[in-house]
């Protein structure tokens, strides 16, 4: 991914806010389809992508309003760097034998637990330590627990047992956060499964993604627009990619005051 850069359109905290990715030639690309899954042997790329054309970064929206991660005491926002592995996909038509539920029609999420707070749009190499299956509304939502390979302590981590040893209480906090994070929205807690075969699971995801981008499977809401996958009917030229980029707008936006509100989980 050498030479990739990002380009911001409009301002943060607006419905129109987007971050586009560009290659070394200055051409727009998709972080979901055009960035390779592997950075190196057993090292996954991690990036943020969405379902929209060219899979640009945008803020989540719920009920036509920008969505913010609630501060659920004692956690303020996310407790990790959050992104996804490019060229992976959870098929909503495939029932997973481990969870008994179909996929959530998203790339595979990554919870990166290193010591650095990553920048928006940053692309990093990560070492997978384990994988967590979150079952949300009868959909399987896989989340890889990983660490940035450039983290100064990355060499000390081989699997989730090292997380337990070197970060006492962190794994428990992670599971608790995932179970509770939708509580402020009035939604039920999540069901969780932990520890699956990472290598086999990754190979399955790669095969699913290839079927998606070559139109052998219907991706429904997922945009498969790309600039590099030669066998894909969704491949476009640089001019077509540039045509979807909106003009930039610099009008100021502010964060709603209730974003900093604290929530407390009420145990029954």
Q: Which residue has the tokens 């380009």?
A: 7
The whole-number pLDDT of residue 196 equals 53
Confidence of residue 99 (pLDDT cuts 50, 70, 90): confident
CA distances from 44 to 124, 147, 247 (A): 8, 10, 33
Return the higher-pLDDT residue of 207 and 221. Answer: 221
Confidence of residue 163 (pLDDT cuts 50, 70, 90): very high
pLDDT in tens, 247-266: 776 677 888 888 899 998 87
Predicted TM-score of the model (pTM): 0.87
Confidence of residue 80 (pLDDT cuts 50, 70, 90): very high
Residue 165 lies in a domain: yes
pLDDT in tens, 165-213: 999 999 999 989 988 888 888 887 778 776 555 555 665 665 567 778 8
d(CA 90, CA 205): 7
Mean of pLDDT over the chain: 86
Those residues whose C-beta lies under 8 Å from the C-beta of residue 158, and which sit 6 or more positions away, are 129
Residue 175 lies in a domain: yes
1, pLDDT greater than 60:
yes
pLDDT in tens, 63-75: 888 999 999 999 9
Percent of the chain at pLDDT > 90 equals: 40
As a whole number, mean pLDDT of residues 140-160 equals: 93
Return the higher-pLDDT residue of 205 and 102. Answer: 102
Check which CATH number belongs to the domain holding 127 and give it: 3.90.80.10
Q: Give me the half-sphere count of Cα atoms (radius 13 Å) on the Cβ side of residue 102.
A: 6
Residue 268 lies in a domain: no
d(CA 178, CA 188): 11
Q: Where are the beta strands (DSSP E) in 164-245?
A: 191-194
Q: What is the largest CA-CA distance in the chain?
A: 57
As a whole number, mean pLDDT of residues 213-242 equals: 88
The whole-number pLDDT of residue 204 equals 61
Q: Are 22 and 58 in contact (CB under 8 A)?
A: no
The conformational region for residue 194 under phi > 0 = left, psi -120 to 50 = alpha, else beta, is: beta
Percent of the chain at pLDDT > 70 equals: 93
Counted domains in the chain: 1
46, pLDDT greater than 70:
yes
- Among 34-43, 46-55, 111-120, 183-192, name the most confident range: 111-120
The whole-number pLDDT of residue 149 equals 96
Residue range(s) defining the domain that contains residue 118:
5-263
């Amino acid at each position: 991914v050498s030479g990739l850069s990002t380009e911001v359109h409009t301002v943060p905290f607006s419905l129109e806010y987007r971050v586009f990715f560009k290659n070394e030639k200055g051409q727009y690309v998709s972080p979901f389809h055009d960035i390779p899954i592997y950075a190196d042997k057993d090292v996954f790329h991690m990036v943020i992508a969405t379902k929209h054309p060219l899979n640009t970064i945008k803020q989540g929206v719920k009920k036509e309003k920008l969505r913010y991660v609630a501060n659920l005491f004692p956690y303020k926002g996310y407790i990790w760097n959050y992104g996804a592995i490019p060229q992976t996909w959870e098929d909503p038509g495939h029932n997973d034998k481990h969870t008994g539920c179909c996929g959530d029609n998203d790339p595979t999420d990554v919870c990166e637990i290193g010591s650095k707070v990553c920048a928006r749009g940053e692309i990093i190499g990560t070492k997978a330590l384990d994988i967590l299956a979150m079952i949300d509304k009868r959909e399987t939502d896989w989340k890889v627990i990983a660490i940035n390979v450039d983290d100064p302590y990355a060499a000390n981590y081989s699997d989730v047992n090292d997380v337990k040893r070197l970060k006492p209480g962190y794994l428990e906090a992670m599971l608790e956060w995932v179970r509770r994070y939708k509580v402020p929205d009035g939604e039920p807690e999540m069901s969780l499964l932990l520890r699956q075969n990472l290598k086999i699971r990754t190979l399955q995801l790669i095969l699913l993604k290839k079927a998606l981008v070559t139109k052998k499977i219907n991706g429904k809401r997922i945009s498969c627009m790309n600039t590099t996958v030669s066998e894909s009917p969704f491949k476009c030229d640089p001019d077509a990619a540039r045509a979807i980029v909106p003009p930039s707008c610099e009008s100021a936006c502010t964060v709603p005051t209730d974003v900093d509100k604290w929530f407390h989980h009420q145990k029954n």
